[in-house]
Amino acid sequence: MQRLLELDARVSQRLRVAESPGILRTLAAVLAHSGDSWFWFMGLAGVYWLGDEPWKRWAGVLLIAILATAVVVMAIKFTVRRRRPEGDWGNIYRSTDPHSFPSGHAARALLVAVLSLALVPAPWAGILLAVWAPLVSLARVAMGLHYLSDVLAGGLLVIVIGGVVLVIL
């Protein structure tokens, strides 16, 4: 297991751009933040408030699914307690949640994409979110907040949670 963790750390370090000024770092920082829960809660609440019935349904399902996913992610994080990679970028994340496994941002972004492909009233929006979600996951690694295995675990978690949500609906 130790060898796998060391390989994960080496691969994750190679993907990192947090300390390299430039457009790639700026893009990664924007993408890394675009998966923040407060952003999605505000946006989905706005869609629910202003949207017509199909959009309200989509927003309501996503809000509930995101909350359920957050509970599962936090339970796993506080069980596993894997420390985030060392770094200076993203101190708000490091101070409020020092644990990295699994990535809540990756799980949230991928959940939004999976459920949107199935439920969003506009197919183009589901496709856009399906392109965006893996970029958020990689950006979390690039900015040094997660190891690659953290975001992969978030993705595997979403396969289960997204499947359950779709079966329930």
Of 82, 105, 108, 140, which is the active-site residue? 105
Q: Read off the tokens for 106.
A: 């990756």
Q: Which among 139, 135, 123 has a CA at the least distance from the CA of 58?
A: 123
Tally Cβ neighbours within 10 Å of residue 101: 20
Active-site residue flag, 105: yes
CA distance 148 to 169: 31
Active-site residue flag, 99: no
Give CA separation, 115 vs 25, 44, 60, 80, in Å.
Answer: 29, 13, 11, 27
Of 31, 133, 146, 150, which is the active-site residue? 146
115 near 61, Cβ under 8 Å? Answer: yes
Catalytic residues: 105, 146
